[in-house]
Amino acid sequence: MSVEKLKFKTEVKQLLDLMIHSLYSHKEVFLRELISNASDAVDRARYESLTNSDILENDGNWKITVSKDKNAGTLTISDNGIGMTKDEIIKALGTIAHSGTKEFLAALQSKEVKDNPELIGQFGVGFYSSFMVADKITVISRPAGQKDKMGVKWESTGDGTYTVEDIYKETKGTDVILHLMEGEKKYLDEWEIRSVVKKYSDFIEHPVVMEVEKEQESTLKKGEKVKVKEEETLNSMKAIWLKDKSEVTKEEYNEFYKHISHDFTGPAKVIHYKAEGTSEFSALLYIPSKAPFNIFYKDYEIGPVLYVKRVQIMDHCEDLIPPYLRFVRGVVDSSDLPLNVSREILQNNRQVEIIKTNITKKVLETLADMNKDEYDGYLTFYKEFGRVLKEGIHFDFTRRETIADLLLFPSTKAEDGKFRTFQDYIEGMKEDQQEIYYATGTALDEVLKSPYLEAFRDKDIEVLIFLDEIDDFIFTGFEYKGKKLKSVSKGDINLDKTEGDEKKNARKKYGKLLDLVKDTLKDDVKDVRLSGRLTDSACCLVADEGDMDPQMEKLLKAMGQDVPQRKRILEINPAHPLFAAMNTIFEKDKRSPVLDEYTKLLYDQALLLEGSKPKDPAAFAKAVAKLMVENAEKSNANV
Ligand code: ADP
């Protein structure tokens, strides 16, 4: 029987270094993590045994055993759950198996995590936390239902390598043996173990048992006491979600949250209720306060834990929650579903659909209440998850308006650092205003200075600022309370209902000049027209109504997609003195080279204002310098 020596993957090694050398203040959580793993292993075995009784091996007495050996200095956590094969143990305890490994490594290096090792909890580092108290860990495991096969022994001192070897193991499940460090022997005390289990793992639904010594009346000699060993269950095993709200403390809610979410930061909000009527179920849901690093990744697992009559069926049931609420964690326990429910059944199940509708409504209501009553908390939530929530506008047609009411935006009318809602906007609208105006961009201060907002400022019309790249896409076609959304940089903007004489005159006066400009720029823009949105700037570029937003274009390009370059429309401000001046030149000499030069400069300016580069930066700089010289010579001549 050979012993294989293997190396931990880099990320595990770095994690171990951080764990062992950090001054993590609550080392005792290692016990919670091991009990949690054992409980998961028992859940899986119990679930599989519903369809395969071999798994039971005649022992359906599910439990987790904590045993201590003071002489050897070891603490052992055993379970009679699903167990692991050699390959499984190498994968489970030799790597960190998630696709965000890059982010994980970055987090390990970051100062924030080094100062607060708790933060690492969100990556699911459970097992390794035991190296905070043990200088050697031995794991012995054998898969349930494979009595005739060998088990595996895994061992490591946390120094970068571990060994595995085949070993005989009589019983199914896993023993994790911690060889406690010199300074950590207190975890061999009955009292200490009892209190740590009570504190962190009371709700675990399988018994956590320990052999304890008790004094008892002797049956031989009356009046004399003898010591006997007895198995004691340390946890109350009450399914916390089935309890009445009034019976659960905040700490219990928080501990349970950490158990199911692997997030060491407490939740922002707890939603706990029982539904009766068309569907009977209990739900204990949490809105986290911090976004998990992988919420935008494919490997992020959506959905609460599903129980049927207290039996865990699935870790993450994605049919119970819409993806735009995927940040919600928790437990749903249904009385109506069959115990042997499969994934296929869940997908088309009416009961599941009812629960999903109910949960969605409840979560959205809770968020609305937070927005109303606990604004600061809501703001924290929104900054973490607003982008996820917003997806609902696009994907959940029936609840778009409800979701829209939860969204916050900077705006030309918001005070510094404050936000506005669609409702605020509607309330502040001009009497005859039919549309909700928005501007897109990446930096708020830049957008606020953009020329696209000039006429709106002038007319005191509010413009919401959308800073997420996906916003333009999400809000396409969206109407809030019958008011369409309209981008200030797309299509025609006409804030004056009737075209005033001024514009008519300008059209007459500059018509020919406009034709010339159009002809000069025919390869660059698709049209040149008089603007209804400019008051100070001379010109700007706008997109056609149905065209893609420049933010979206950037995003798609960054994702490596081929985005065809679309020509924009150049809008000209007829009130700007530049046009009167250009027109005078035009009337004197239609072919003046100055007109050509100015037209190109105008276009370059418009590109700059849009956040793009001039077409030919060198030529642009040269032309500006030339103008400066001419201007300086003129001023000097006037002196
Ligand atoms: P997590 O529990 O967050 O996945 P851990 O590092 O605690 O992370 O555990 C890694 C993996 O090891 C688990 O996902 C599980 O597959 C396996 N594992 C740990 N403990 C046990 C156990 N007692 N029985 C079976 N598998 C286990």
Q: What is the pLDDT of residues 154-196, one digit of tens each?
A: 999 988 899 999 999 999 999 999 999 999 999 999 999 999 9
Nearest CA to ligand 1 atom 10: 92
pLDDT at 22: 64
Q: Tell the burial category of 356 from Cβ atoms under 10 Å away from its Cβ (0-12, 13-18, 19+).
A: buried
Multiple choice CATH, 3-218+225-233, 3.40.640.10, 3.30.565.10, 3.30.2130.10, 3.20.20.70: 3.30.565.10
pLDDT at 187: 97
pLDDT digits (tens, 9 = 90+) for 339-365: 767 777 788 888 999 999 999 999 999
CA of residue 201 to ligand 1 center, whole Å: 16
**Banded pLDDT at 97 (limits 50, 70, 90):** low
Q: How far apart are CA 155 and CA 294, in angstroms?
A: 30
pLDDT at 16: 80
Coil, strand or helix at 450: coil
The full set of domain ranges for the chain reads: 3-218+225-233, 240-373, 502-543+564-638
DSSP state of 567: P
CA of residue 268 to ligand 1 center, whole Å: 27
pLDDT at 125: 59
Averaged pLDDT, 621-638: 89
Q: Ligand 1: which residues within 6 Å by Cβ?
A: 33, 37-38, 41, 79, 81-82, 84, 92-93, 124-128, 174, 262
**Banded pLDDT at 56 (limits 50, 70, 90):** very high
Ligand 1 atom nearest to 33, measured from its CA: 7
Looking at the DSSP bridge assignments, the partners of residue 490 are: 543
Hey, what CATH topology would domain 502-543+564-638 get? Four Helix Bundle (Hemerythrin (Met), subunit A) (1.20.120)
Coil, strand or helix at 254: helix
Angle at 604 between CA 600 and CA 608, to 5 degrees: 170
Ligand 1 atom nearest to 128, measured from its CA: 6
The neighbour count for residue 478, using CB atoms within 10 Å, is 16
Tokens of 631: 């201007």
- In what side-by-side order are the strands of the sheet with 134-142? 4-7, 161-167, 151-156, 134-142, 173-180, 74-79, 64-69, 208-217, 225-233
Contact predicate 77/38, CB 8 Å? yes
**Banded pLDDT at 123 (limits 50, 70, 90):** low
Q: Which residue has the higher pLDDT, 344 or 124?
A: 344
Mutate to test the pocket of ligand 1, among 47, 48, 127 (most ligand atoms within 8 A of CB): 127
Mutate to test the pocket of ligand 1, among 32, 40, 177 (most ligand atoms within 8 A of CB): 40
**Banded pLDDT at 62 (limits 50, 70, 90):** very high
Ligand 1 atom nearest to 36, measured from its CA: 2
| pLDDT over threshold 80, residue 555 | no
pLDDT at 25: 65
**Element housing 163 (H / E):** strand 161-167
pLDDT at 278: 83
At 551, the amino acid letter reads Q
Q: Identify the sign of the CA torsion 491, 497, 500, 505.
A: positive
CA of residue 289 to ligand 1 center, whole Å: 25
Three state DSSP letters for 326-360: CCCEEEEEECCCCCCCCHHHHHCCHHHHHHHHHHH
Contact predicate 128/264, CB 8 Å? no
Nearest CA to ligand 1 atom 23: 38
pLDDT digits (tens, 9 = 90+) for 140-149: 999 999 999 9
pLDDT at 499: 59
Q: Tell the burial category of 589 from Cβ atoms under 10 Å away from its Cβ (0-12, 13-18, 19+).
A: exposed
Nearest CA to ligand 1 atom 6: 127
Averaged pLDDT, 551-571: 79
pLDDT digits (tens, 9 = 90+) for 382-415: 999 999 999 999 999 999 999 999 999 999 999 8
pLDDT at 599: 93
CA of residue 37 to ligand 1 center, whole Å: 5
**Banded pLDDT at 532 (limits 50, 70, 90):** confident
The neighbour count for residue 447, using CB atoms within 10 Å, is 22
pLDDT at 27: 83
Ligand 1 atom nearest to 44, measured from its CA: 25
Q: How far apart are CA 478 and CA 422, in angstroms?
A: 12
Q: How far apart are CA 10 and CA 335, in angstroms?
A: 45
Share of the chain above pLDDT 70, in %: 94
pLDDT at 489: 86
Mutate to test the pocket of ligand 1, among 37, 258, 260, 261 (most ligand atoms within 8 A of CB): 37
| pLDDT over threshold 90, residue 437 | yes
pLDDT at 120: 62
pLDDT at 98: 54
Least confident segment among 112-126, 302-316, 551-565: 112-126
CATH number of this structure's domain 240-373: 3.30.230.80
CA of residue 76 to ligand 1 center, whole Å: 15
CA of residue 232 to ligand 1 center, whole Å: 25
Q: Which residue has the higher pLDDT, 200 or 71?
A: 71
571: Cβ contacts below 8 Å, ≥ 6 apart: 528, 529, 530, 531, 533, 534, 539, 540, 541, 542
pLDDT digits (tens, 9 = 90+) for 226-253: 888 889 999 988 889 999 999 999 999 9
527: Cβ contacts below 8 Å, ≥ 6 apart: 518, 569, 570
pLDDT digits (tens, 9 = 90+) for 572-591: 988 899 988 999 999 999 88
Averaged pLDDT, 562-580: 86
Average pLDDT of the residues of the chain = 88
Ligand 1 atom nearest to 176, measured from its CA: 23
**Banded pLDDT at 23 (limits 50, 70, 90):** low
CA of residue 33 to ligand 1 center, whole Å: 9
CA of residue 343 to ligand 1 center, whole Å: 23
Angle at 574 between CA 573 and CA 579, to 5 degrees: 100
- The owner of tokens 């992020």 is 300
CA of residue 145 to ligand 1 center, whole Å: 19
| pLDDT over threshold 90, residue 530 | no
CA of residue 92 to ligand 1 center, whole Å: 6
Averaged pLDDT, 413-419: 89
Nearest CA to ligand 1 atom 3: 124
